[in-house]
Amino acid sequence: MVITLPSAAEVAATVPDPELPMLTLADLGVLAGVEQQGEAVTVWLTPTYSGCPAVAEMAADVDTRLRKVGYVDVSVRLRLDPPWSTDLITAEGRRKLAEAGIAPPAAEHGVLRLGPTRLAVDCPQCGSADTEELSRFGSTACKALWRCRACREPFERMKEI
Amino acid sequence: MTDDHVYLTLAESDHEAEARWAYGTGFADPLLGVDTALAPDVDGADLSLYCQMLGDDALILSQRLIEWCTRAPELEEEVALANLGLDLLGQARLLLSRAGQADGSGRGEDDFAYWRPEHEFRNVRLVEVANGDFAFSVARLLLFATARGALYELLAGAPDPVLRAVAVRGAKELAYHQEYATAWTLRLGDGTAYSAERMQAGLDAVWPLLDELFTPHEVELRLGVDPTALREPVLAALAEVITEARLTVPTALPLARIGGRAGRDGVHTEALGPLLAEFQSVAREHPGATW
């Protein structure tokens, strides 16, 4: 009997991000490529922030998921160039972030040199644009803390990079 | 949903990749599977030393930043400073790992971080001096982030792929650090008379340490990187912030070199020794320990 393994690319695309489990690594733009030669699989990941400690978990999760469906020869490698950017988050990923109460990053951004941030960020709970930044940093390297003045709910926002 | 939870996945997994991020836990190589070949015209020893210079800058400043944990004026600032330190630590890990590949020694990031003596650290003196008050730390961060961001933009054209990758992503991270330091410089400088006095004192105190970032080392020059080109744009950017904060651009002269040598040559201030003694203590107390 011949057992056909599911496509490695499809399996890898279902692996969730360890810190944002509502998104897959593919949604997040971290899954940089999957190469399959027979039963040997190489998966390329592009880490988010330089210091993101989730990279090891991501690699382990991909490895585990592929082995569970039957792949034995699995290798996970990092690709640093071109670097990850929030622009790589897919439209589906942005939708899932907002659905989970995390304001997605703006699609295009510039670097501000002076003065406080003047980004237009909509509240992921009520949609109001009347929001303010509480802290430029949050629970993980990729998020900032915001608050909605309309519904008074605090929320997280993914920083542009 | 079990498999979708990171901690459960780790607890269940039976492969070797379940390392935590701490000394002695076998945390994954930050250059796992990255192509490590050297460009044909790049000298491995020079590239290694340059990666140590930039990696040590990031490592030591990261250590200074995390010293603010439990001591920052507000919880939000503590989180912020730790986040900045984490970015720098990530850059240091990549650069020091690259250093060990480039010189063919096979040394890993831990070998560089924990097992080199003080005179082998190549960081500029700006990053090692003690934290001082919050304004001093903000001033130091403003100078470092502005200059390092500019250098990383320059290195986006570096011949080494790893250095280039660190620089391209690092430039974005440093821009965020610069924004943070700028926001605090404005807030303190343009705040009360007392906060302005403290901010000015912070800038005056770090200013003599700025010049070292623009003083080329022979290793950099051989790699085609000339930091003197950064002096003018960085000084202009700093002056813009300082003036906007209603403060005075310091005019203090650069801190003297010792026999023509400074941080890049392994000659440091008295502040580095105690920092390293604490930072390296666990690794040296328990060599080769794993848990």
CB atoms B179 and A113 under 8 Å:
yes
Backbone dihedral angles phi then psi of residue B179, each to the nearest 5 degrees: -60, -40
* A7: amino acid identity, one letter: S
B16 pLDDT band, cuts 50/70/90, is very low
Count of domains forming chain B: 1
Does residue B213 form part of some domain? yes
List chain A residues with CB under 8 Å of B4: 16, 21
| Across A3-7, A40-44, B93-97, least confident range | A3-7
Angle at B149 between CA B146 and CA B154, to 5 degrees: 125
Closest partner CB to B33 (pick from A50, A78, A116): A78
Does residue A89 form part of some domain? no
ipTM: 0.78
Q: Judge whether residue A115 has pLDDT over 50.
A: no
pLDDT at B26: 57
Least CA distance to B95: which residue of chain A? A50
Does residue B1 form part of some domain? no
- What H or E segment, with its residue span, contains residue A32? strand A31-37
Is A55 in the same domain as A17? yes
Residue B67 CB neighbours (<10 A): 17
List chain B residues with CB under 8 Å of A82: 168
Q: Judge whether residue B121 has pLDDT over 70.
A: yes
pLDDT at B116: 97
Closest partner CB to A49 (pick from B13, B18, B173): B173
**Residue A77 φ/ψ region, left for φ over 0, alpha for ψ in the -120 to 50 degree band, beta for the rest:** beta
Interface membership of B241 toward A (CB under 8 Å): yes
Interface membership of B191 toward A (CB under 8 Å): no
Interface membership of B86 toward A (CB under 8 Å): yes
Provide the 3-class DSSP secondary structure of residue B173.
Answer: helix
List chain A residues with CB under 8 Å of B168: 81-83
Does residue A96 form part of some domain? no
Q: What is the pLDDT of residues B157-172, one digit of tens each?
A: 888 989 999 999 899 9
* Boundaries of domain holding B87: 43-285
Does residue A31 form part of some domain? yes
CB atoms A51 and B30 under 8 Å:
no
pLDDT at A1: 55
Q: Judge whether residue B263 has pLDDT over 60.
A: yes
Least CA distance to A159: which residue of chain B? B176
Average pLDDT of chain B, as a whole number = 90
Residue A24 DSSP one-character state: B
A35 pLDDT band, cuts 50/70/90, is very high
Does residue A1 form part of some domain? no
Residues 69-108 of A with CB under 8 A from B: 75-85
B56 pLDDT band, cuts 50/70/90, is very high
A62-80: average pLDDT: 92
Does residue B133 form part of some domain? yes
CA distances from A33 to A12, A42, A79, B69 (A): 9, 8, 9, 38
Q: Tell me the CATH number at A50.
A: 3.30.300.130
Q: Round to the nearest angstrom and report the end-to-end CA distance of chain B.
A: 29
Interface membership of B18 toward A (CB under 8 Å): yes
Q: How far apart are CA A57 and CA B11, in angstroms?
A: 11
Does residue B93 form part of some domain? yes
Q: Which two tokens mark B182? A: 């700028």
Does residue A84 form part of some domain? no
Asked if B132 contacts B204 with a C-beta cutoff of 8 angstroms, the reply is: no
A43-61: average pLDDT: 86
Say what percent of chain B tops pLDDT 70: 90
Count of domains forming chain A: 2
Q: Judge whether residue A108 has pLDDT over 60.
A: no
B23 pLDDT band, cuts 50/70/90, is low
Does residue A90 form part of some domain? no
B15 to chain A, minimum CA–CA distance in Å?
8
Q: Tell me the CATH number at B274.
A: 1.20.1260.10
Final residue of a structural domain among A78, A109, A131? A78
* Boundaries of domain holding A128: 101-158
